Amino acid sequence: MNESSTPSIEDIEYKLLLEAIFQAYGYDFRAYTQASLRRRIQHHMTMNTVDKVSTLQGRILHDRRAFASLLSDLTINVTEMFRDPDFYRTFREKVVPVLRTHPFLKIWHAGCATGEEIYSMAILLTEEGLYDRAHIYATDIDHQVLEKARRGIFPASSLKKYTQNYQRSGGKSDFSDYYTARYDNVIMDSGLKKNLVFADHDLATDQVFGEMQVILCRNVLIYFNKNLQQRVFQLFHDSLDIGGTLCLGTKESLRFASCEGGFEPLDAQQRIYRKRH
């Protein structure tokens, strides 16, 4: 091995940290894009006054609370109610008519983070008269964010933005109908929670989540390397019914995916696809 190809000590430390996380806790970050992952690890180390990656490895192996803290920094939880309103408007126009043909709906929100987009979908389905026949499966790898999603309590400071998004998305009511304001928070209406199912699921390691009519995984795959993206695309293909709908983020695409031929664009701009076979 020549000198230029010899990994640095830092490279080795990062690789060992990710391997330790997988071996000790079962979370597989080894196929995430490394530049983004390293930035998040470095931020975590700075905030927790850790000077070496090897020191961080020792901490998380011997202290589950230290690992939980790191996990919250490694997972991406950027989200908001009716994020990208044009997507929800397009979903109403092009996907809802198809959903009306089904007597029962199973919708998977993969990488649901703190849940704002889950409640957005519950509101949309309620307004379209479809929520009573639907189950929304909300999954993430982070137990802490799943618990936040389950509670459905969000900061009131975001309310103005959420209301604007709702209105731009084609909302048919008053957004205030769907929550109760209390102190500095808003609490989502309990009726929106009745058909939500929360579960742990790791896209890097877990298997098919089957017979879905809709899968939403928006702005998650951009953090995966090409091999992991291929795995997840196949997982989504195998989890969808024929004619089912796959919704990706605007920076994500099925182009060059091995299963690309199994889908057709329903709306290319909003990255909404229909499973052909």
Query: Which residue in 171, 146, 162 sits closest to 68, CA to CA?
Result: 146
Q: Give pLDDT < 70 ranges for the chain.
A: 1-5
Task: For residue 152, give the 3-state DSSP assignment.
Answer: coil
Q: How far apart are CA 231 and CA 235, in angstroms?
A: 6
Indicate the domain borders of the chain. 3-74, 85-275
For CA atoms 41, 42, 46, 47, the dihedral sign is: negative
Q: Please give the pLDDT value at position 1.
A: 45
140-170 burial by CB neighbour count: b if 16+ within 10 A, else e?
Answer: bbbeebbebbeebbbeeeebeebbebbeebb
Q: Please give the pLDDT value at position 6.
A: 82
What's the N-to-C CA distance of the chain in angstroms? 47
Q: Which two tokens stand for residue 130?
A: 């479809």
Q: Please give the pLDDT value at position 4.
A: 53
Across the beta sheet with 240-248, the strand order is: 196-200, 134-140, 105-110, 212-217, 240-248, 272-275, 263-267
Q: Please give the pLDDT value at position 210.
A: 81
Contacts of 141 (CB under 8 A, 6+ apart): 27, 71, 75, 200, 201, 202, 203
DSSP string covering 12-62: HHHHHHHHHHHHHH----TTB-HHHHHHHHHHHHHHTT---HHHHHHHHHH
**Is domain 85-275 given the CATH code 1.10.1040.10 in the classification?**
no
Q: Please give the pLDDT value at position 28.
A: 94
Q: Please give the pLDDT value at position 77.
A: 76
